[in-house]
A and B are shown apart, each in its own frame.
Chain A
Amino acid sequence: MLSTPYLALENVSCERNGRLLIDRLSLVMELGQALQVEGPNGSGKTTLLRVLNTLSRDYHGQIRWQGQDLAEVRADYLRQLLYIGHAPGIKRVLTPLENLRWQAELYGDHKEQDMLEALARVGLVGCENTACHHLSAGQQRRVSLAKLFLFTTPLWILDEPFTAIDKQGVAELEAVIDRHVQDGGLVILTTHHSLSLKHGCRRLSLGGGA
């Protein structure tokens, strides 16, 4: 039986500053998968993720989500999406708990207990009420990663989630990604780190051939 793919790219091309970064990329992604986008700096990893999260519309080709054109079903798509970008998206003068609260309120999911638990899961016990600018770069990144424990959206798009995270943290993050994939989620991420996921991971190489 032919089923509609969850997310499908057909001949997607992107250029940036006159350089063709992604050339007629076709790709089908299903729930229950992890996709690692890799490639040298400037090869278009972030550009691709920004096309996939709908922030950028500078592309040719078609992207279909559950069989429908992405631009037409954007609102429904965003409800399913959790994106963590290069910039962690946290306010430095606010505490981790306050940061998590305003982001959770955007998604209408905000039990105080769940937020404290999510912060505990990323190892921020005792820092919940310290302003983020007193925290280290890695701890600030962990604040935004705490959303992975809080939100239940099926699609995760993560841009360099391991930046500034220590070894222990990386292992925990891999475990979370593994569990999300196992629970039927789709994770698309960029990283230079070699991932060790139990369920394996598809790779997409951009730039420099391969």
Chain B
Amino acid sequence: MSAAQTVQAFWGIVRRDLTVSMRHRSDLFNPVIFFLIVVTLFPLGVSPAPDVLKALAPGVLWVVALLATLLSSDGIFHADFEDGSLEQLLLSPQPLYLMVLAKVLSHWFITGLPLTLIAPMLGLMLQLPAAGMVPLMLSLLAGTGTLSFVGAIGAALTVGLRRGGLLLSLIVIPLYTPVLIFGASAVQSAIEGFSIAGQLAVLGAFFVFAITFAPFAIAGALRISVNG
């Protein structure tokens, strides 16, 4: 199998998944709408006072973005498992590592990327100071990639189970916490006027670690799930 063919197969899967999401609008908009709705609950439920919201903003935005990613990761392999295209992917002569990478990349395009782009608007709603806007976007950009990979491991492990949704959260949320800690801390530091280079470097390291090793875990988990 030549490298050019593998590259073509990679983009073929990305193109397929993006086309499917474009036609299933709900896949595309649900995480963003969830993000929007849950963030609006905080002024209503906690307090609309700007000082309170300002203190909560970094944490709330990061927690909700994390939950939106979690919510959508259940579906990464589910439809493929149901309609048999997952079997076709596992039996294709292409390296599964790269095919899995293509699946996660397209998941990030329809969740992590839109969440990152919409975050400043929600930051405004929560009175996030201007100094925190760019760090919020940068930390989400680096962090949501890792979240997609970790979510995909959970999704691959639970894809064969009938009610895997809750189990998926139990597997994935503990693994999300380091990303949350450094992501929210980056925004907080920026507001307080400190450098965020350290946090971004750690988030970047998480991402490199995830992109290197997670596809192996995902591929292995998929083989087990399809076997069972």
Contacts and interface: CB of A to CB of B under 8 A. Distances in A.
B-side interface size class: 20 to 34
A81 B227 CA distance: 18
A58 B227 contact: yes
Given A91-B16, A93-B23, A131-B23, A106 B93 contact: yes
Contacts of B9: 105-106, 108
A202 interface: no
Given A55-B227, A102-B13, A89 B87 contact: yes
Contact of B20 (A85, A91, A105, A106): A91
A210 interface: no
Contact of B83 (A55, A56, A83, A91): A91
B90 interface: yes
Contacts of B30: none
A79 interface: yes
A87 B8 contact: no
A134 interface: no
Nearest to B16: A102
Contact of A88 (B12, B20, B23, B83): B83
Interface centre among B9, B20, B23, B88 (most CB of A within 10 A): B88
Interface of B: 1-2, 5, 8-9, 11-13, 15-16, 19-20, 23-24, 79, 82-85, 87-94, 99, 226-227
A92 B24 CA distance: 10
6 contacts: A79-B93, A81-B91, A88-B83, A89-B83, A91-B83, A108-B8
A135 B53 CA distance: 52
Contacts of B1: 79, 108
A94 B94 CA distance: 22
B98 to A, nearest CB: 11
Nearest to A58: B227
B92 A92 contact: no
Contacts of B88: 83, 89, 103, 106
Given A55-B227, A87-B84, A91-B83, A78 B92 contact: yes
Given A55-B227, A89-B84, A106-B88, 18 more contacts: A53-B91, A55-B87, A56-B227, A57-B227, A75-B93, A81-B91, A89-B85, A89-B88, A91-B16, A91-B20, A91-B85, A92-B83, A98-B16, A98-B19, A106-B9, A106-B89, A106-B99, A107-B92
Contacts of B99: 106
Given A91-B20, A94-B20, A106-B89, A101 B12 contact: yes
